[in-house]
Amino acid sequence: MQVPAYVEYEKATSVEHALGLLAKFGPEARILAGGHSLIPMMKLRLVQPETLIDINGLSELSYVTVDNGRLRIGALTRHAQLLDAAAAGAHFAILHDAERVIADPVVRNWGTIGGSLCQADPSEDLSATFAALKATMIIRGPGGSRTVPAREFHTGAYQTVVAPGELLTEISIAIRPGGGSAYEKVGRRVGDWPVAAAAVAVWLDPETGGTITDAGLGLTAVGARSFAAAEAEDFLRGAAATEASYAEAGRIAAEHCNPASDQRGPAEYKRHLAGELTVRALRRAVRRARQQPGGEP
Amino acid sequence: MQITVTVNGAEHVREVEARLLLIHFLRDDLGLTGSHWGCDTSNCGACVVWLDETPVKSCTVLAAMADGHRVRTVEGLATNAASEEGSGEARGGGWGAGGGELDPVQQGFTECHGLQCGFCTPGMMMTARWLLDRNPDPSPEEIREALSGILCRCTGYENIVRSVLWASKHEAAGRASE
């Protein structure tokens, strides 16, 4: 039986209240949202907070909206809500691709987007997704809100820039016409962490759809810096949207990642997957970008 | 800390530690052993109960998180023949605690041999009930997807899918004859 260590518990009634509780209880307090990352770690005593601050009542942090040319996702949004949100899938099909392969439907009912990002597991699927989409994180603290680009959000395994007295409140993505996106994941079984995964967002030239004008490439579970494949992105910008380009982008992405051998597979296999899944995600993202001149199907 | 949780329609006020998991609160504090405690790591789904209207893995939810909320366990699936108001309605609403008429999902598992050892069955049925409430006519693929978070070591899932299909057809027939 895995039992967490003794812990105190507070229920936040508003974002301001949550910030006040964080300030009061200091760095040994932890925010409790869905708890499906935190509670397993507490059971194994990998983390032993002194106080849990339950934010499940903060409905003001649970939303998926389109606002001022941006898709805005509240940090307390459950994975199931994001998967159910038509607006999210319409603008960024990658979000639904990724959510469909995160955990299982019941876990998705309770786990949150913010919780997954803040746990910052190197195999977590949304980190690479938001890196590919070049999302912006909004973090609230006692002094107000600050924004952090997705690629600067993580500082290492299980480490983010969210400081002890702060709360991640929103993830937002700029909506641009002419784009397509996709997520390709290989895992050992349903709901498992990926062996490797690739996240792709591309924008094509509006006249012919034959050239990639911009690209975002994310990689999961292969030790990619900031969950991104920046060198492959540089190659793709301005490149023709052809199989030859996808293959080269895959080769570059595989070359620049840093997978480790573990129970999910040997490093060489993960490196191979990084390349191959980048190619497959590119194919699908480009097809989606072409299907609708203004955006995705 | 004190928590107030309404389980299968009955309110319970209890003193608990914050670290107490919901599955243990239900089984040990309330004696509702219908929900099973399996992997303890949110994988197997034997512990699935409803928190308000949502199936969750109760081994990974604190009892404290259910304070002020409703919980429905497998004991609350059957519609109550004797509700709190007396021998009342046998259908509609009411998460009665035991007795009464089996839910169509439970009937389906009986008709179609949807269980062998029965360990995953509470999780399967609570999730199937939620599926059918949202999607009354699921395909076999949709059933498998919805139940993908509950693991069965006995049946190979075939009869579980048949049981849920039986329940959906039985409920459709019931609606058609109303």
CATH number at residue A211: 3.30.390.50
Question: Is residue A27 assigned to a domain?
Answer: no
Question: Is residue A36 assigned to a domain?
Answer: no
- Partner residue facing A40 (CB), from B41, B56, B149: B41
Q: List CB contacts (< 8 A) between B150 and chain A.
A: 106
- Partner residue facing A9 (CB), from B41, B64, B150: B64
Question: What pLDDT is attached to residue B177?
Answer: 83
| CATH entry, B104-176, from 1.10.150.120, 3.80.10.10, 3.40.630.30, 3.40.50.300 | 1.10.150.120
Question: Is residue A113 assigned to a domain?
Answer: yes
Tell me: do A82 and A169 sit in the same domain.
Answer: yes
Tell me: do A203 and A104 sit in the same domain.
Answer: no
Question: Is residue A139 assigned to a domain?
Answer: yes
Indicate the pLDDT class of residue A297, thresholds 50, 70 and 90. Answer: very low
A46 close to B (CB below 8 A):
no
Tell me: do A78 and A160 sit in the same domain.
Answer: yes
Question: Is residue A81 assigned to a domain?
Answer: yes
**Distances B3 to A5, B25, B68 between C-alpha atoms, Å:** 19, 11, 7
Question: Is residue A39 assigned to a domain?
Answer: no
Mean pLDDT of B16-33: 98
B127 close to A (CB below 8 A):
yes
Total domains, chain A = 2
Domain C-terminal end among A142, A174, A206: A174
Which long-range contacts (C-beta less than 8 Å, at least 24 apart) are formed by A203-207?
A203/A176, A203/A178, A203/A179, A203/A289, A204/A178, A204/A179, A204/A180, A204/A241, A204/A286, A204/A289, A204/A290, A205/A178, A206/A177, A206/A178, A206/A293
State in words which class domain B2-76 has. alpha beta
A283 close to B (CB below 8 A):
no
Q: Where are the domains of chain B?
A: 2-76, 104-176
Residue burial B90-105, b: 16+ Cβ < 10 Å; e: rest = eeeebbbbeebeebbb
Question: Is residue A40 assigned to a domain?
Answer: no
- Partner residue facing A1 (CB), from B18, B40, B56: B40
- Predicted TM-score (pTM) of the model is 0.93
Task: Convert the pLDDT of each residue in A256-289 to its tens digit.
Answer: 999 999 999 999 999 999 999 999 999 999 999 9
Question: What pLDDT is attached to residue B129?
Answer: 98
Question: What pLDDT is attached to residue B99?
Answer: 57
Indicate the pLDDT class of residue A1, thresholds 50, 70 and 90. Answer: confident
Question: Is residue A48 assigned to a domain?
Answer: no
Print the domain residue range for A90: 62-174
B54 close to A (CB below 8 A):
yes
CATH number (domain holding residue A73)? 3.30.465.10
Q: Do B65 and A104 touch (CB under 8 A)?
A: no
B41 close to A (CB below 8 A):
yes
Indicate the pLDDT class of residue A189, thresholds 50, 70 and 90. Answer: confident
ipTM: 0.93
> Cα separation of B102 and A152, whole Å?
54
Q: Do B19 and A7 touch (CB under 8 A)?
A: yes
Phi-psi region for residue A257, left (φ > 0), alpha (ψ -120 to 50) or beta? beta
Kindly report the three-state secondary structure assignment for every residue of chain B. Answer: CEEEEEECCEEEEEECCCCCEHHHHHHHHCCCCCCCCCCCCCCCCCCEEEECCEEEEHHHCEHHHHCCCEEECHHHCCECCCECCECCCCCCCCCCCCCCECCHHHHHHHHCCCCCCCCCHHHHHHHHHHHHHHCCCCCHHHHHHHCCCCCCCCCCCHHHHHHHHHHHHHHHHHHHCC
User: Which A residues 60-119 touch B at CB under 8 Å?
Assistant: 103-107, 109-110
Tell me: do A195 and A249 sit in the same domain.
Answer: yes
